[in-house]
Structure 1
Amino acid sequence: MMKRYLLIAGILIVSTQAFAQQERKHIRKGTSEYTEQKFLESEIEYRKALDKNPESFEAQYNIGASLYKQQKLDEAMKQFQTLAQTEKDPAKLAQIYHNMGNIYFAADKIDESIDAYKKSLKNNPLDNETRYNLIAAQKKKKEQENQQQQQQQPQEQEQQQDKQEQQQQQQQQQNQMNKEDAERLLNAIQQDEDDLQNKRKINAAEKKQIEKNW
């Protein structure tokens, strides 16, 4: 669940009382729109409040929440990342990182969501909602790892089978080559034997002819 920052009673830094009243007016209006799930309208009101006071944590934080509800995940993430870089209050940081964890989770960036939830709990160890989300993210990561392992097993088996078939084919080719080599060797030996026999016959005939002539 995306946490919307609870409005505080006063503003620490304001230019004038009238200026602060205008900021509060837009924040209250934005919160009303947010409650009615009119998230674009709430974003507009929070931005108006931010125009009145560029240092307003409430306005910046709730703009991020409104963007998240509009599924503008990248914009929402940038909003909370900017806040995380400047905010020092642990309670506020816990809420910021909680929301960053939700955005990462929605974007299926599970490792990043786990890291964000852990940072949130570091700043507020008693937040059960964040703890629940962390457990859910860790469970999803485990499921993804199991699914990936199951997908890899058939691929590995198929690769092993292909390797065995290739080895068998190579062995058959080698056996065929050995058989052909043996046949060629036998043929060569037989040819040599035939040549030798023919040579002997020729020599015998020549010798007989010489003896006859003599």
Structure 2
Amino acid sequence: MRQLIICLLFLIQASLLMAQEDKNLVHKGNQLYEQKKYTEAEAKYRKAARLNKNSPGSFNLGDALYKQKKFEEAGQQFNQLATSGDKKMAAQAYHNLGNSYLENKKLEESIEAYKKALLNNPKDDQTRYNLAYAQEKLKEQQKQNKDNKNNKDKKNNKDDKKDNKDDKKNDKNKDNKNQDKNQDKKDDKKDQNKNGQDKKDNKDQQQQPNKISKEDAQRMLDALNNDEKQTQDKLKNKKLKGARMHIEKDW
């Protein structure tokens, strides 16, 4: 029995010492926090939280993290405190959680946190103001996103039209090139035909000296006819003469 009492007294004393240490650590942390020495204050609050999870230092730790712009870590700390079961503590934790989300550009999450804070403390005007502020920021963001999307769509449509215009221009240039190419082929063929005709004309011109006119041909034909007639006449006369001659033997 005596030993049990001694053990109980020892535990009570230890608890008192821990509570006193917790209180001292939180007090020193608060002093550092007031001096804006948030890193040093964070270290004191962490020690206090390790001694007592329900220590005020646990809440103040989230504030020190928030002041250092460690919004993700601060949010995690406040989220743990919000589920502690104490409505007053939950309201404050959700309020600060909403602030952490807001600073981290997570507007929808911050709105939900502020709403939970008001459920635990409907009379908190500061939380109500922050909620309205976050909702307005969300509307602005949604409008900005919509405008950006519309501008992007317009730009894409403009680029598509430009591409179509460029395609048509390229097709037209291609058609013009094909036409020019076909025209070049026609011109080449025409030149070839012309060269061929020129060669033919040159050949005809080269053969022209041997070519006789119609009048010369007629004269030549008449001359040939006359010669043939004369020859025929001669042959006819000779025949006739020969027929008339009587050849006799010389003996």
Q: TM-score, normalised on structure 1?
A: 0.66
Counterparts of 1:55-70 in structure 2 under 5 Å?
A: 55-70=53-68
Query: Larger RCO: Structure 1 or Structure 2 (Cα < 8 Å, ≥ 6 residues apart)?
Result: 1
* Runs of 5+ unmatched residues, structure 2: 1-11, 172-251
Partners of 2:161 and 2:168 in 1: how far apart? 10
- Per the TM alignment, residue 170 of structure 1 is displaced from its structure 2 partner at its CA by 9.1
User: 4+ runs of 1 displaced by more than 4 Å?
Assistant: 161-173
Counterparts of 1:10-21 in structure 2 under 5 Å?
A: 15-21=14-20
Which of 119, 122, 125 is 1:122 aligned to? 119
Deviations, residues 185-206 of structure 1 (Å, cap 9, x unaligned): xxxxxxxxxxxxxxxxxxxxxx
Partners of 1:71 and 1:52 in 2: how far apart? 25
**CA-atom RMSD in angstroms:** 2.7
- AA aligned to 1:60 is S
Partners of 1:168 and 1:36 in 2: how far apart? 66
Counterparts of 1:47-196 in structure 2 under 5 Å?
A: 47-53=46-52, 55-85=53-83, 87-162=84-159
TM-aligned CA distance change 1:166 to 1:41, over 3 Å: closer
TM-aligned CA distance change 1:95 to 1:81, over 3 Å: same
Deviations, residues 145-201 of structure 1 (Å, cap 9, x unaligned): 11112222222223344556677899998xxxxxxxxxxxxxxxxxxxxxxxxxxxx
Identity %: 39
Partners of 2:85 and 2:165 in 1: how far apart? 67
- Per the TM alignment, residue 57 of structure 1 is displaced from its structure 2 partner at its CA by 3.7
Partners of 2:20 and 2:167 in 1: how far apart? 85
TM-aligned CA distance change 1:94 to 1:171, over 3 Å: same
- How many pairs align? 163
Partners of 1:14 and 1:82 in 2: how far apart? 29
Partners of 1:146 and 1:162 in 2: how far apart? 24
Deviations, residues 32-83 of structure 1 (Å, cap 9, x unaligned): 1112211111111112222332x22412111111111111222212212222
Q: Secondary structure at the match of 1:132?
A: helix
* Runs of 5+ unmatched residues, structure 1: 1-12, 174-214
